[in-house]
Structure 1
Amino acid sequence: MNITIRKKAMVAGTVALLSAGLAACSSADNDSPSTPSSVSASPSASSPSASRAYRDGAYSADGEYGSQNSSIGVSLTLDDGVITDVEVTPHATNETSRGYQERFADAVPDLVEGKSIDAVQLDRVAGSSGTPDGFNAAIDQIKDEAAA
């Protein structure tokens, strides 16, 4: 019986070490090159702005994300609530984070142009899981500013 208790303790300790090791492998802004890209560009059912009207025009905002005070700039043009043009500006100074932001910025126009601003909610894009949080935060700021 004593051996069984020791084995359970060893297994629990191994699981704890593996979990800690995996957590330590993640990067500061939650971007992971080993994970596939996926995107969700659909309306958020919980969003109070799902039926808002927006003023046409050009808007810009910086969206912050992550625990390292990371941010990304978003400039877009709205026409009848539809994103007709978008530009994403990387702000990262760290080489790795900058790479994620640049790949993200390159991918975004194909994902959001021609879509209703209310339908845009990005997930993981170009291997980046943290940067979309900054993008989504900037979109929320723009929605508030553009609300008619």
Structure 2
Amino acid sequence: MPPLRKRITTALVGISATAAIAGCSAADTETDSSASPSAASTGATASGSPSRRGPYEDGEYTVDGEYGTRGSSIGVAITLEGDEITAVDVIPHATDKTSRALQRRFADAVPTLVAGRDIDDVRLDRVAGNSHTPAGFNDALEKIKTEASG
């Protein structure tokens, strides 16, 4: 095998392995019908930089989290007590029938995944067949952390 072709093949194998480890695939879309909720805990924001760490002021916080390239968003209302999420409500904003149904499934699944957990330990990945909406939720969490650091 010529050296350049071998390097490209090796690079692609490395990229594929990295994507598999990260739980990513080219098939991940909003219309995926797998409904298995999951939550990943990390100390990083979507950009990979370290997340803020508490303590945060107790209270109720409501923000919109943005995701995607078309200005998609989802509302998130959280009650914090001692840095723990004691209540959460996700408010779908989508107007398209399919997107709204996906956001509703997401909203129904989220409370069982995050209630009772420290806000710094919550970072959602794929939830109820949604691969993009969790990014909006994670964006909202970062905004809430900033507001609650106050």
Q: TM-score range by the shorter chain?
A: 0.7 to 0.9
> Which one of the candidate residues 69, 89, 106 is aligned to 2:71?
69
Which structure has the bigger radius of gyration? 1
Q: How much has 1:48 moved relative to structure 2?
A: 3.7
Q: How do residues 36-115 of structure 1 correspond to structure 2 at under 5 angstroms?
A: 37-44=36-43, 46-49=49-52, 51-115=53-117
Deviations 1:1-36 (A, max 9, x none): xxxxxxxxxxxxxxxxxxxxxx7x87xxx4132446
TM normalised by structure 2 equals 0.74
- Asked if 1:142 corresponds to 2:133, the answer is no
For the residues of structure 2 that align with 1:134 and 1:43, how far apart are their CA atoms? 16
8 Å CA contact retained: 2:124, 2:134: yes
Stretches of structure 2 that go unaligned for 5 or more consecutive residues are 1-25
Match of 1:124, SS state, is: coil
Q: Tell me if the contact between 2:76 and 2:140 (Cα under 8 Å) persists in the aligned partners.
A: yes
Q: 2:131 aligns with which of 129, 132, 136?
A: 129
Note closer, same or farther for the CA distance 1:87–1:137 as it changes in structure 2 (3 Å cut).
Answer: same
Q: Which residue of 2 aligns with 1:33?
A: 32
In 1, Cα distance between the equivalents of 2:56 and 2:99?
Answer: 33
Deviation at 1:68, TM superposition (A): 1.6
Letter in 1 for 2:41: S
Q: What TM-score, normalized to structure 1?
A: 0.75
What is the Cα-based RMSD across aligned positions, in Å?
1.9
Residue 117 (structure 1) aligns with: 119
2:123 alignment partner, SS class: coil
Gaps of 5+ in 1: 1-22
DSSP-derived class of the 1:105 partner: helix
Asked if the contact 1:65–1:130 (Cα under 8 Å) also holds between the matched residues in 2, the reply is yes
